[in-house]
Structure 1
Amino acid sequence: MRTMGKNKVSLVTTILNEEKTLPEFIDSLLAQTRRPEEVIVVDGGSKDRTFEILKSYADRVGNLTVIQSRGANISRGRNLAIAEATSDLIVVTDVGCQLHPRWLEAISRPLQEGSAQVVAGLSQPDARSFLEKCLAAVNVPLVEEIEEETFMPSSRCIAFRKRVWEEVGGYPEWLDIGEDMNFNFKLKRMGYSIQLVREAVVYWRMRETLREIFRQFFGYARGDAMAGMYPQRHLIRFTTYLGLLVALSLSPRFPYLPLLLSPLALIYLSKPLRRSVRVFQEDRLGMIFSWLAMPFLMLYLDLAKMAGYVNGLLKRPRMRSLKRKMRSKI
């Protein structure tokens, strides 16, 4: 049996083909004002130089454990890493991020002080290209928009006691994407509140191409459908576009109908437009062009989400069967 360190911190993460982002992540880890007592990385079967880069940093990171588990999804990788951890305090992140220098200190403090069982920080976009900045404005809420009572964090920025992970049954290994939201819902059902620490910030790269963006949001929505998450949100989206199609079909007979619907479109665009002022604050021309591009990007994302949700609904019976099989093995 492992001896748990009461206030030691284990940082866990998964990795797959991250040779491009890994050095930046490790550099940000080495720059932390408070370093973890151990770092556990599960490699799901990288085919690039990820594993070699990890080994080259081993001495500098200190107490680094790398577990190779070919084919492991994110949930499986996180569960393996947490099970291996010798500390009671678990901090989870993703390698595709850069960590603010005070991130680990800030996110672990409430756990060490005993004022919380689950703590989460903020994921802020590391948007570099015009497309990435538009995506950030469309999809990532500003810090002041986030309310602790309804906050559902990404597991690229979350911390908890190991027994909490045990009580909720870990991350759902039957779910390839959306696993962090499913984990959050299990925490809430078990009565755990998630304390938001706004000073704990990670910066994550946005997808760089339209193809990658479509796959990402298709996958998110597919995960929602397979896990039964956010059904009202998706129903509203389908209903809205159905109503829009009906309105467009009637517009030859009622030419003023699109004008009557324009206030609804402005409401839909209001948050991205406000965010664009912040995202493009040093590029006024880019901000103006973003106002033209964002409506099309939002339509593109909605199409990806609707296609993904339908795909997930079709796969849901198989996922239920897989879920039952995995539970029977426990």
Structure 2
Amino acid sequence: MLVSCIIPTLNEEEQIGFLIDTIFKQDYRPVEVLVVDGGSKDRTKEIVSEKRRELNSEKFNIKILFENDFGKISSPANARNIGIGQSAADYLILLDADIFFIEKDSLRKVKAKLDEVRFCCVRTKPIIDSELEYQIALGDIWHVSLCAFRKEVFINHRFNPELGLGEDEDFWFRSGVNFSNVCETTLGRHFPHTVEEYKKQQIWYGKSYLNYMKIIIKEQRHLFWKFFRILVKNTFYLFIPILLIITIFFSRALFLFFISLLLATFLFGLYKSPEKNAKRLFFLIWRSFFEARYFMQGLTLGLKRHV
């Protein structure tokens, strides 16, 4: 049974070659690798082409597709949809370029799980290259966008390419997938390991935020409160530093309230953290202001785009 690995890419020259190598080393065949590129300006496309020439065979086939050949939209969700539509396989595993295989039998285990169920999640563990990556990853052992499906799941539902972010949660809600189906294997995952990567990530989140909320309210109104709870959980602390700065100019009471709330947020984060020390507390404080700054920068860019 053919298994297809679908990988959206955009400027992934540092990671895409290694990911393909780890897929090639899997003990399962036949395998199809579909790389869907969103317009990379680095050597991503050249590296994939080199891997095709080096590794392609009857049982292992790498293909590279380009989003601009299928329309004007460019997003990870759109790339996944293209890969799903072009795949010849009935079993699909959706990967990101910062994820890779660390156990040689992972594809075999995913295939065996999909023989039993229509959908399954796959565990990941952080692979650490820097102190920043370690602090970001601390305590994070799940990555729910790493999932595998039978192709039949996509007959009535696809990823929404207009969202910009949160397309995974949107798809899970609409398709009714079951997160209790866990495949007993583990893959490696990288988090941003430089400040510049982290900055670009937060600007992207902010830039996409308004469009995400607009589409969810318009098209998924019955699911809005589910999305809203997720957004509050994941982004509420981003806005506290901004509110803190704003209120210092006109309301001492509100300023004291938000500084107390911010302190409570840091202490709660430290309480939940596997490491409870001064370095971790400093990182939580730094992260809050850093993410708030660049998230709001992206949010401003997104607002200008909608005006």
Equivalent residue, structure 2, for 1:192: 177
Instruction: Note the residue ranges of structure 2 that are not aligned, 5 or more in a row.
Output: 217-226
How much does 1:90 deviate? 1.1
CA distance in 1, matches of 2:265, 2:14: 42
Tell me the secondary structure at the aligned position of residue 167 of structure 1: coil
TM-score by length of 1: 0.70
CA distance in 1, matches of 2:106, 2:299: 34
Aligned residue pairs total 280
Equivalent residue, structure 1, for 2:222: none
How much does 1:264 deviate? 5.2
Tell me if 1:172 matches 2:160.
Answer: yes
Which of 103, 106, 116 in structure 2 is aligned with 1:103?
106
CA distance in 2, matches of 1:43, 1:264: 39
- Mark the CA change 1:241 to 1:48 in structure 2 (over 3 Å): closer, same or farther: closer
Deviation per CA, 1:92-123: give whole Å up to 9, x if none.
1022322122332333322122xx22212134
CA distance in 2, matches of 1:244, 1:78: 39
Deviation per CA, 1:227-246: give whole Å up to 9, x if none.
22643444844774577565
Query: Which range moved further: 190-199 or 103-112?
Result: 190-199
Equivalent residue, structure 2, for 1:231: 228
Deviation per CA, 1:125-151: give whole Å up to 9, x if none.
2221112212223xxx433xx6xxxxx
Tell me if 1:289 matches 2:276.
Answer: no
Does the Cα contact within 8 Å between 1:218 and 1:309 map onto a contact in 2? yes
- Mark the CA change 1:16 to 1:111 in structure 2 (over 3 Å): closer, same or farther: same
Query: Which range moved further: 31-40 or 256-265?
Result: 256-265
Deviation per CA, 1:1-56: give whole Å up to 9, x if none.
xxxxxx43111112233222123212211222324532222223333333332233
AA matched with 1:8 = L
Tell me if 1:161 matches 2:159.
Answer: no
Does the Cα contact within 8 Å between 2:238 and 2:292 map onto a contact in 1? no
How much does 1:225 deviate? 3.2
Alignment of 1:79-90 (within 5 A): 79-90=81-92
Does the Cα contact within 8 Å between 2:209 and 2:299 map onto a contact in 1? yes
Could you say what the CA RMSD is over the residues aligned between the two structures, in angstroms? 3.5
- Mark the CA change 1:33 to 1:296 in structure 2 (over 3 Å): closer, same or farther: same
Does the Cα contact within 8 Å between 2:120 and 2:183 map onto a contact in 1? no
AA matched with 1:83 = G
Tell me if 1:60 matches 2:25.
Answer: no
AA matched with 1:223 = S
AA matched with 1:132 = E
Equivalent residue, structure 1, for 2:18: 24
- Mark the CA change 1:224 to 1:105 in structure 2 (over 3 Å): closer, same or farther: farther
Tell me the secondary structure at the aligned position of residue 132 of structure 1: helix
AA matched with 1:108 = K
CA distance in 2, matches of 1:189, 1:104: 26
AA matched with 1:142 = D
Alignment of 1:268-307 (within 5 A): 268-271=269-272, 274-276=273-275, 289-307=279-297
Does the Cα contact within 8 Å between 2:37 and 2:66 map onto a contact in 1? yes
Deviation per CA, 1:49-87: give whole Å up to 9, x if none.
333322332242522222234474322222222111111
Instruction: Note the residue ranges of structure 1 that are not aligned, 5 or more in a row.
Output: 1-6, 147-151, 278-286, 319-330
Which of 12, 19, 22 in structure 1 is aligned with 2:6?
12
How much does 1:91 deviate? 1.0
Deviation per CA, 1:166-211: give whole Å up to 9, x if none.
311x222223x31xx3243233233332344263433232223323
AA matched with 2:62 = L
CA distance in 1, matches of 2:96, 2:260: 45
- Mark the CA change 1:120 to 1:225 in structure 2 (over 3 Å): closer, same or farther: farther
* Structure 1 segments (4+ residues) deviating >6 Å: 256-261
Equivalent residue, structure 2, for 1:136: 137
